[in-house]
A and B are shown apart, each in its own frame.
Chain A
Amino acid sequence: MSDQPSTAAPLLSVHDLKTYFLMDEGVVKAVDGVSFDVRAGQTFGIVGESGCGKSVTIKSILRIVEPPGKIVHGRILLRRPRRDGASGEEELDLVGLDARGEEIRSIRGGQIALIPQEPMTSFSPVHTIGNQIVEAIMLHQSIGKKAARDLAHDLLRDVGIPMPERRLDEYSWQLSGGLRQRAIIAMALCCHPRLLIADEPTTAVDVTTQAQVLRLLRELQQERNSAIIFITHDLGVIAQMARYVMVMYLGLVMEQGPVDAIFHAPKHPYTQALLRSIPSVSSRPRVNLPTISGSIPHPFNKPVGCPFHPRCTKRMPGKCDAGTPALQPVGEIQLVSCFLYHDVEVSA
């Protein structure tokens, strides 16, 4: 484990990922050239509204994109300890793996674990919580049932579930929303994943429960030094959780940078507009909010050029509606894809 995570090699590195859905009606470019790095001990936030491709990005990483979706381009490099027993780490391209193969199945739930959005539908209602966690443990570790159950018990205790020995034999529908979300987190942690992917983990729970779950995730991350990819549409949650933020819109990255820069010096007009349009508890009441005109286009009618240009107040006719800006460094720490700052286009 590295003591300087910022200089260490990234745990996960995504290069120019393109995931398309090849449908009869046409091609939906759900993710259209996304690159980012995630390092150990870091929380990497992905924000965006519906249809921006944040969920498809993580499904691509886990290789669970359902047909007709397909990764058509790019590499997803995961670092993991060498398997041949030698010390050191090796890099593995997840795109090259068979999506149903043994290798990716040992990585899912083992190296990379998912905390899904809906705690209600993520557990089987006909198996006990304990059963399901024990199953996950025994799939990835060669230990007996008794030992796995003890491990599951400890995990439930670690995530703050009272009376864990009783909860092991209960069903998911007997738990409240907050406890169920904690149980899901326990299950995700059961094989000591190095990368946790949290897909809107708190959108289905109340604010006070959300605060408890977020605190739990922060504590667990400090304890285990795991990396977290945190996906949400809630800018408040991202501001409080992430260290590094990527803003997506219609399958493309609009802006990337450290959280403080994204919130205090946003460069892309979309990020700026998004931040202005949220009513916050500390803003002035009952005055009209600045809005983003129009609505998110349907994925079949993606605009030509920069995907945001029809709604952008700073668009430059003849430029923004012609070419798609590439993601380029602007300043020292941010990456922005906007012609206001550079002229680099995405090569077709």
Chain B
Amino acid sequence: MTSQTRPRLLEVKNLRKYFPIQKGFFKKTLGNVRAVDDVSFYVEEGETLGLVGESGCGKTTTSRCVMRAIAPSSGQLLFRTGEGEVVDLAVLDRAALRPLRPQMQMIFQDPYSSLSPRMNLFEIVGEPLLVNGMTNRKERTDRVAEMLQLVGLRPEYMQRFPHAFSGGQRQRIGIARALSLHPRLVVADEPVSALDVSVQAQILNLLLDLQERLHLTYIFVAHNLGVVKHICDRVAVMYVGKLVEMAHTGELFHRPRHPYTAALMAAVPVADPRVQSGDTELKGEVPSPANPPSGCYFHPRCAYAEEVCRTRPPDFREISRGHFVSCHRADEIDLPGISLA
């Protein structure tokens, strides 16, 4: 599961994405929303990295920067291409990105709004193939049929339109479309949060299964910690545009080192009435990334905050092998985790 020699498919270094706040006719810039603020992480080939955090924490912006759907303000996005060379996606322009696009694809959150109602399955799943030069219709039909089978849909459905399918089936269509070009990196942005509980498990199993068969690397963006724990090898936790902790899944859940991670885990209601959970000591709300607090962004809500937390922002440092945390007091405090069954 965790071989030490796996090469890094993606290395993100000091990624920043600021959105200017403009006002007036001359669009004077009044300040910046620091949606992503100095984020560094890596993804090894074949693994699943979970990106978790509450709404507005910058997880979606981070994934959109990685996909180069938007251009980062600064930082490096080092991507190892299929040919083995390392390129910095952050500095490439549209034309230079194009040949790399098939290698990185995205699975979207809402299967109802992410599929065009006017295109049938053949057009939806075949469009990326056509755009990337597969002009032979027969060839395309074969590939679409193969993709549909891969995600558990019948190839006969090719002529149907998305409205004929349920939420879970639509998400399968979205997955078939994303995988049709054989990508190496797949960013899944909340792929199951819009689905019913009984269908979520089917999609999660499919994602795990496809990863094994096609040697995919996932960045899995989610807010549901149960889902994240189930599917991810490693997890990175974000808070107000910054990474606060990153570690192997088991370690992170068993022994969180950042008070925010621990609070997040304690807040999840467990589906067992005999286990007291779903409570939080956290007061107040997530601060705005346009006007973050001084020092550590978490200090106004943190039970362990000291003077240094108010004044100096903590570094994102490696506290033990593969376990990164940005907290001044990570060495002193002992936080409760969730034991692995």
Interface size on B, residues (CB 8 A): 55
Binds A, one of B25-33, B37-45, B178-186, B273-281: B273-281
A146 at interface by CB-CB < 8 Å? no
Q: How far is the CA of A273 from the CA of B197 in the complex (A)?
A: 10
Q: Name, among A208, A236, A264, A281, the residue most crowded by chain B CB atoms within 10 Å (CB to CB).
A: A281
Within the complex, what minimum Cβ distance (angstroms) separates A206 from chain B? Answer: 4
Q: B267–A210 contact, CB under 8 A? A: yes
Q: A176–B285 contact, CB under 8 A? A: yes
Binds B, one of A10-18, A81-89, A286-294, A331-339: A286-294
B7 at interface by CB-CB < 8 Å? no
Q: A214–B278 contact, CB under 8 A? A: yes
**Given contact pairs A235-B271, A288-B208, A49 touches B285 in the complex (Cβ within 8 A):** no
Within 8 Å CB of B249, what residues of A? 285
Q: B267–A208 contact, CB under 8 A? A: yes
Q: A284–B267 contact, CB under 8 A? A: no
Q: How far is the CA of A223 from the CA of B231 in the complex (A)?
A: 41
Q: Name, among B229, B268, B269, B276, the residue most crowded by chain A CB atoms within 10 Å (CB to CB).
A: B269
Q: A289–B201 contact, CB under 8 A? A: yes
Q: How far is the CA of A286 from the CA of B253 in the complex (A)?
A: 14
B293 at interface by CB-CB < 8 Å? no
B73 at interface by CB-CB < 8 Å? no
B55 at interface by CB-CB < 8 Å? yes
**Given contact pairs A283-B341, A295-B199, A208 touches B282 in the complex (Cβ within 8 A):** yes
Q: Which of B210-258 contact A (CB under 8 A)?
A: 223, 225-227, 229-233, 249-250, 253
Q: A260–B274 contact, CB under 8 A? A: yes
Q: B54–A206 contact, CB under 8 A? A: yes
Within the complex, what minimum Cβ distance (angstroms) separates B303 from chain A? Answer: 13
Q: How far is the CA of A259 from the CA of B267 in the complex (A)?
A: 20
Within 8 Å CB of A23, what residues of B? none
Within 8 Å CB of B268, what residues of A? 207, 236, 281
Q: How far is the CA of A212 from the CA of B280 in the complex (A)?
A: 7
**Quick one: CB contact mask for A255-281 with B, threshold 8 Å, 1 for yes?**
000011001100000000111011111
Within the complex, what minimum Cβ distance (angstroms) separates A248 from chain B? Answer: 13
Within 8 Å CB of A241, what residues of B? 269
Q: How far is the CA of A274 from the CA of B285 in the complex (A)?
A: 33
A296 at interface by CB-CB < 8 Å? yes
Q: How far is the CA of A238 from the CA of B268 in the complex (A)?
A: 12
B333 at interface by CB-CB < 8 Å? no
State which size class the interface on A falls in: 35 or more
Within 8 Å CB of B339, what residues of A? 282
Within 8 Å CB of B201, what residues of A? 277-279, 289-292
Q: B271–A233 contact, CB under 8 A? A: no
A239 at interface by CB-CB < 8 Å? yes
Q: Which residue of B lies closest to A206 (CB)?
A: B54
Q: A295–B338 contact, CB under 8 A? A: no
Q: How far is the CA of A145 from the CA of B222 in the complex (A)?
A: 46
Q: How far is the CA of A211 from the CA of B229 in the complex (A)?
A: 19
Q: Which residue of B lies closest to A297 (CB)?
A: B166
A106 at interface by CB-CB < 8 Å? no
B5 at interface by CB-CB < 8 Å? no
Q: Name, among B205, B229, B230, B232, the residue most crowded by chain A CB atoms within 10 Å (CB to CB).
A: B230
Which residues from chain A sit less than 8 Å from chain B, CB to CB?
A: 49-50, 176-179, 206-212, 214-215, 233-241, 259-260, 263-264, 273-275, 277-286, 288-292, 295-296, 311
The 9 A-B pairs with the shortest beta carbon distances in the complex, nearest first, are A279-B230, A236-B269, A211-B280, A206-B54, A211-B267, A49-B196, A277-B201, A289-B201, A292-B198
Q: List 24 A-B contacts (CB under 8 A).
A: A176-B285, A179-B285, A206-B55, A206-B286, A207-B223, A211-B266, A211-B279, A239-B270, A240-B273, A263-B274, A264-B273, A274-B197, A277-B200, A278-B271, A279-B226, A279-B227, A280-B226, A281-B229, A281-B338, A282-B339, A284-B340, A285-B230, A289-B201, A291-B205
Which residues from chain B sit less than 8 Å from chain A, CB to CB?
A: 1, 54-55, 166-169, 196-202, 204-205, 208-209, 223, 225-227, 229-233, 249-250, 253, 263-280, 282, 285-286, 338-341
Given contacts A260-B274, A263-B274, 4 further A-B contacts (CB under 8 A): A176-B285, A235-B271, A237-B278, A285-B249
